[in-house]
Amino acid sequence: MSNVEERSEILDCAALGHHDPETVQVIEPKDVNLGGDDALRVRRTLPSLRRSFVGAWCFVDHYGPEQGVCMDVPPHPHTGLQTVSWLFEGEIEHRDSGGVHALVRPGEVNLMTSGHGIAHSEVSTPERDRLHGVQLWVVLPDASKDLVREFQHHVPDALDAAGVHAKVLIGSLDAASSPVHTQTPLLGAEIVLDAGVTWELAANPGFEHGVLVDTGVVDFDGVRLDNTVLGVRDAGLDHLRLTNPTGAPARIMLLGGEPFDEGVVMWWNFIGRSHDDIVRLRAEWNEAPDDRFGRVAGYRGPIQRLEAPPLPAGLKLKRRFRRGRQ
Ligand code: MN
């Protein structure tokens, strides 16, 4: 998916919120329209003004369920990150400049490493006209930011015990672990809690954790999270408590990872280390895209690639840190 929110980096963020590390930081989503009036709308909780990362998770878009919408994102670039696609419903056709052509399907995780530079397109297939899922980005640490392109695919088993149904996309949870490899320690899992269920789970104290509520209501360590919000707890906890207080199932995405303490500049679909990095990446994509990013074969839409928008005039893009911008 492409970030079309061109002006996100020029907001004044002087009024950053503070929160007590003993409590859950609740991040409300903002609505972002991916293209024209009939395009897919997403709810974005990361990055937010008050928090940039949960572990190395740096971008959380949540969409649907929607009927009769389509996603058609022409070839666009990425640098310095990995994309993680996870669907609850629907089907998306992925093509990238690493030569990968894959279908993204519910219950199957696809992790694409941009490394030094990649281009890809994403188009929902007409066979399934419902779309419901998340697109997540993982920031690559400085030592790994120029990795070669890679695409990993994994179908996790469903773990079912005492009203808890889990699928581990990335990392380990209880007895389950994913073979998907990452550059920093991470956790990503889909969890369904049956009506009325409370789950106490062992947590890695070195990880911070986020709970994105997809369906229903969940109490996260006693703090009520409604559908679509992200609740975050800082590192230092050896267990987490999740309760579904309602009479219907609740579904969440559980994200975790070691605190990511590097500063990065995120603009459009690029992650760099400085304003000048972004200026250079933008020019490379707009002027000679094949050289760094490669070519996406087989995309059949009317626009062969998304141009990077103009940079905000007269402003230096600022680095983001865990707790916002500096
Ligand atoms: Mn993308």
**Burial annotation 95-106 (CB, 10 A radius, 16+ → b, else e):** bbbbebebebbe
The answer to whether residue 12 scores a pLDDT higher than 50 is no
Q: Residues 17-50: pLDDT tens digits?
A: 455 556 899 999 999 987 766 678 899 999 999 8
* C-alpha 72 to ligand 1 mean position (Å): 11
Record the pTM: 0.93
In this prediction, residue 3 carries a pLDDT of 76
3-state secondary structure of 316: coil
The answer to whether residue 57 scores a pLDDT higher than 50 is yes
The answer to whether residue 11 scores a pLDDT higher than 50 is no
* C-alpha 229 to ligand 1 mean position (Å): 22
* C-alpha 242 to ligand 1 mean position (Å): 31
* C-alpha 76 to ligand 1 mean position (Å): 6
Q: Residues 199-236: pLDDT tens digits?
A: 999 999 999 999 999 999 999 999 999 989 999 999 99
Which whole number is the average pLDDT over 69-94?
A: 95
* C-alpha 19 to ligand 1 mean position (Å): 32
Backbone angles phi, psi at 295, to 5 degrees: -115, 140
Place of tokens 């839409």: 301
In this prediction, residue 5 carries a pLDDT of 61
Q: Residues 126-177: pLDDT tens digits?
A: 877 899 999 999 999 999 999 999 999 999 999 999 999 999 999 999 889 9
Question: Nearest to residue 191, comparing CAs of 95, 285, 255, 239?
Answer: 255
**Distance between CA 217 and CA 242 in Å, rounded?**
10
* C-alpha 199 to ligand 1 mean position (Å): 34
Query: Residues 228, 232, 233, CA angle at the centre, nearest 5°?
Result: 155
